[in-house]
């Protein structure tokens, strides 16, 4: 019960911090929100129209009053209406979130497969395999997403013509965006898992399993990989939030609809309700995944449950 209460308290704090930082951060961007509501700088709205909009949306109130009013609306579940789309923010998010969640989930699965494969191969193939695996992990973790996306499009779309460059072209269009998100994450997870696997190979429970006559394959699958995957499980909540934020770059490069492109457009248009709504949804997804991975770690590791 105490564990659950702590997680709920942490979730409320994260959501409050996300809403607060986003609200004040947007106010630092040059531009007038009332102008954005009336269609942007190109609308040539009159001073009377701007004044009317400011009064209608409370933009003529002091900044702290606007902040408290927004927190009150958010506390009731009211995300407001998008300035630029003239549509409820919940409807906009509902129409875009599916594609982003699918992209992030597939990238997380692919990253896990690659990271586990590298960890197993590099820890049983000798010094050369360990050195090559470590180098691959470091390079993958350090590659910028926009550069990786450009290279993947150039090689697999323009040159080889294996996959389309536009992500809306059916299931094949998911391959390059998923790899763009998965490869850097796989490099990071692989480094963590490899060290954990190496520690598990020399741990007392591994030596005990070998002494009982278990095969090397059985020792690795039943004991070593279970222990080695624990850091990856613990980091999956953070990784999922990182993938959602990375979707801004990937969805823009591959012309894929989703929360990433929606957030980018909303920031450019100073669409405060839409930006806050998307950020809160991303923060909520991060909180949910963190709690889920924490629970999975407790199930996978008896020592955590005991503590």
Instruction: Give a three-class secondary structure readout of 20-42.
Output: HHHHHHHHCCCCCHHHHHCCCHH
Q: Do the beta carbons of residue 45 and residue 38 sit within 8 Å?
A: yes
Written as six digits, the tokens of 117 are 């494969």
Average pLDDT taken over every residue of the chain? 76
Give the predicted TM-score (pTM) of the model.
0.75
How far is residue 255's CA from residue 268's CA, in Å, rounded to a whole number?
17
Q: Do the beta carbons of residue 140 and residue 184 sit within 8 Å?
A: yes
**Across residues 191-205, what is the average pLDDT?**
69
**Across residues 276-283, what is the average pLDDT?**
84
Burial of 296 (0-12, 13-18, 19+ CB in 10 A): middle
Segment (H or E) for 107: helix 89-124
The pLDDT of residue 297 is: 64
**Across residues 232-242, what is the average pLDDT?**
74
Q: Could you report the per-residue pLDDT of 18-73, keeping only the tens digit for each?
A: 888 888 887 777 666 777 676 666 666 677 777 777 777 777 778 788 888 888 88
């Amino acid at each position: 019960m105490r564990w659950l209460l702590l997680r709920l308290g942490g979730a409320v704090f994260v959501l409050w911090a996300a809403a607060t930082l986003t609200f004040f951060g947007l106010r630092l961007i040059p531009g007038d929100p009332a102008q954005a509501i009336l269609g942007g700088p190109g609308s040539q709205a009159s001073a009377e129209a701007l004044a009317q909009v400011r009064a209608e949306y409370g933009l003529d109130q002091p900044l702290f009053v606007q902040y408290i009013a927004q927190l009150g609306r958010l506390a009731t579940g009211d995300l407001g209406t998008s300035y630029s789309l003239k549509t409820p923010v919940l409807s906009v998010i509902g129409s875009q979130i599916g594609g982003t969640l699918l992209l992030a989930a597939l990238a997380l699965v692919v990253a896990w497969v690659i990271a586990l494969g590298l960890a197993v191969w590099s820890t049983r193939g000798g010094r050369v395999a360990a050195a090559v695996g470590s180098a691959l992990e470091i390079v993958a973790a350090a590659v910028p997403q926009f550069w990786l996306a450009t290279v993947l499009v150039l090689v697999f779309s323009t040159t080889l013509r294996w996959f389309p460059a536009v992500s809306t072209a059916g299931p094949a269009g998911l391959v390059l965006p998923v790899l763009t998100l998965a490869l850097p994450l796989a490099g990071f997870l692989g480094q963590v898992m490899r060290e954990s696997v190496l520690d598990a190979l020399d741990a007392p429970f591994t030596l005990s399993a070998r002494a009982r006559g278990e095969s090397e394959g059985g020792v690795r699958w039943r004991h070593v990989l279970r222990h080695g995957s624990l850091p990856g499980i613990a980091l999956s909540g953070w990784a999922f939030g990182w993938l959602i934020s990375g979707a801004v770059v990937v969805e823009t490069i591959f012309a894929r609809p989703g929360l990433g492109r929606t957030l980018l457009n909303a920031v450019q248009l100073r669409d405060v309700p839409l930006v806050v709504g998307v950020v809160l949804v991303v923060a909520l997804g991060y909180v949910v995944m963190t709690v889920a991975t924490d629970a999975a770690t407790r199930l996978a590791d008896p020592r955590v449950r005991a503590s």
